[in-house]
């Protein structure tokens, strides 16, 4: 099959400008995906009608569905362009015409590229992080044995034997002088493999925006419902033994106007998530946590 694939692409110079459609033909080959097609168009921006135009703009980076950049609407379905193999699309639709549109719930930057900043803001709103006291690694310090405990002395001695030019160890006085690095090797509290596996599944969210696009309750506005991905990330951090310290703050952040109360349980989100994140489970769990907090939160105050 050496024929052409027809791409109908919705274009828009910027959020303020009107959108319009342009059509391009790209020669088919076995491994063609949507990004490769866009790369061909970029090199030779000639429309199907023979007229030249500007290259189409889009965002991509990893080309293996892990960076989340290239989300767009392909034949009406929200997904990543890099993993959209034309071969399979044709098998599915039986048509050699493919439409590409930008996500509709975010402002358009240019053509197929949109601005998903509100998702990152959502992560900020729910404090999606662990509250570290500090990094505690590798401050270079001048050390002498007096400052060290028995155990630390052992550690430093070990290093000193190997890197004697950095640390000088005197056997008789049992002192060490020189520059050393301070290092904290304390791990987080031990965690069950089960909890860790559950968290791993949630950690694969690449902020791609598919779930936001598919959700009937998310509007295109900065103060719209934060959406499933953010709720799931709040759960991710609440399930960590140190992340948990901010649990109440996260729950309160999810109880506001743009919070979890907006979810109508339509479950569109979970169906489109390319990372198979159990979003409905996350939502149910967080609804339970917020309800508990609303009812009994004052206990903890």
Partner 1 sequence: MAKKGTKAIVVGGGLAGAMAAIKICEAGYDVDLVALLPVKRAHSVCAQGGINAALDTLGEGDSIWEHFDDTIYGGDFLANQELPWKMVKAAPGIIAMYDRMGVPFTRTSEGRLDARRFGGTKKRRTYFSGASTGQQLEYALDEQLRRLEAGNIFGYGKLTKYEYHDFQSAILDDNQVARGIVVMNLRTMKLQVMKADAVVLATGGPGMIWGKSTNSIENHGTGAGAILAQGGHYANGEFVQIHPTTMPGTDKLRLMSESARGEGGRVWVPKDKNDKRPPETIPEKDRFYFLEEWFPAYGNLVPRDVASQNIYKICVNMGMGINGENKVYLDLTEQATGIPEKRLRYRLGAIVEIYEKFAGSNPAKKPMIIYPGIHYSMGGMWIDSNHMTALPGVFAAGEAEYQYHGANRLGANSLLSATWAGLYTGPKMVEYIEGLSSHYTETPDAVFKNELKRVEAIYDGFKKSDGRENVFQIFDEMGELMSKYVHISRNEEGLTKVGEELQKLQDRYHKIGLNDTKFDNYNLELQMAYHLGLMLNMARVIAEGARQRKESRGAHLRTDYTERNDEKFLKTTKAHLDKDNNPVIEYEDVDVKYLKPRLRNYSKNK
What residues line the site for ligand SF4 (CB under 6 A)? Answer: 205-211, 214-215, 217, 227-229, 232, 263-269, 273-275, 277, 279-280, 283
**Residue 65 near ligand FES by CB under 6 A:** yes
Helix (H, G, I), strand (E, B) or coil at 167: strand
Residue from 82, 143, 229, 251 that binds ligand FES (CB under 6 A)? Answer: 82
Q: Which of residues 180-239 bind ligand FES (CB under 6 A)?
A: none
CB 82 → ligand FES: shortest distance, Å?
A: 3
What distance in Å separates the CA atoms of residue 4 and residue 1, rounded to the nearest whole number? 9
What are the respective helix, strand and coil percentages of the chain, to the nearest 5? 35, 20, 45
Residue from 196, 271, 291, 292 that binds partner 1 (CB under 8 A)? Answer: 196
**Residue 136 near partner 1 by CB under 8 A:** yes
- Closer to ligand FES at the Cβ: 56 or 82? 82
CB 174 → partner 1: shortest distance, Å?
A: 21
Binding-site size, ligand FES (CB under 6 A): 12
CA dihedral 105, 111, 112, 117 (to 10 degrees): -50
CB 277 → ligand SF4: shortest distance, Å?
A: 4
CB 61 → partner 1: shortest distance, Å?
A: 4
Residue from 85, 145, 255, 287 that binds partner 1 (CB under 8 A)? Answer: 85
CB 216 → partner 1: shortest distance, Å?
A: 26
Q: Give me the phi and psi of 137, to 5 degrees please.
A: -130, 140
- Closer to partner 1 at the Cβ: 128 or 286? 128
Q: Which of residues 35-64 bind ligand FES (CB under 6 A)?
A: 60-63
Q: Count of CB atoms within 10 A of residue 283's CB?
A: 20
Where are the alpha helices (H) located in the chain, listed in sequence order?
A: 34-43, 86-93, 117-125, 150-162, 193-203, 210-214, 228-238, 247-254, 268-272, 279-296
DSSP H or E segment with residue 183:
strand 175-183
**DSSP annotation string for 82-137:** TT-BHHHHHHHH--SEEEEE--SSS-EEETTEE--HHHHHHHHHTT-S---S---E
Q: Which of residues 158-177 bind ligand FES (CB under 6 A)?
A: none
From partner 1, ligand SF4, ligand FES, none, interface partner of 277 (C-beta below 5 to 8 A by class): ligand SF4
Binding site for ligand FES (CB under 6 A): 60-63, 65-70, 80, 82
């Amino acid at each position: 099959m050496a024929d052409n694939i027809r791409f109908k692409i919705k274009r828009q110079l910027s959020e303020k400008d009107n959108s319009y459609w342009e059509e391009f033909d790209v020669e088919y080959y076995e491994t063609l995906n949507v990004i490769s097609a866009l790369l061909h168009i970029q090199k030779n921006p000639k429309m199907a009608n023979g007229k030249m135009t500007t290259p189409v703009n889009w965002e991509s980076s990893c080309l293996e569905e892990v960076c989340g950049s290239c989300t767009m609407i392909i034949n009406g379905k929200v997904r990543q362009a890099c993993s959209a193999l034309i071969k399979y699309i044709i098998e599915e639709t039986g048509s050699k015409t493919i439409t590409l549109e930008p996500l509709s719930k975010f402002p358009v930057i240019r053509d197929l590229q949109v601005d998903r900043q509100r998702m990152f803001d959502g992560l900020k709103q729910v404090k999606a992080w662990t509250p570290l006291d500090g990094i505690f690694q590798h401050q270079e310090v001048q050390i002498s044995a007096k400052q060290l405990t028995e155990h630390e002395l052992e550690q430093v001695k070990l290093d000193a034997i190997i890197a004697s030019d950095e640390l000088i160890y005197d056997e008789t006085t049992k002192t060490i002088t020189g520059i050393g690095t301070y290092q904290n090797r304390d791990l987080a509290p031990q965690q069950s493999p089960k909890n860790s596996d559950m968290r791993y599944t949630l950690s694969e969210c690449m902020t791609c925006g598919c779930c936001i696009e598919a959700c009937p309750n998310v509007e295109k506005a900065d103060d719209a419902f934060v959406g499933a991905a953010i709720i799931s990330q709040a759960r991710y951090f609440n399930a960590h033994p140190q992340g948990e310290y901010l649990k109440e703050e996260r729950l309160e952040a999810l109880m506001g106007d743009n919070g979890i109360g907006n979810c109508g349980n339509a479950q569109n989100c979970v169906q489109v998530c390319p990372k198979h994140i159990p979003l409905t489970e996350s939502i149910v769990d967080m609804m339970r946590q917020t309800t508990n907090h609303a009812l009994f939160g004052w206990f903890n105050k």
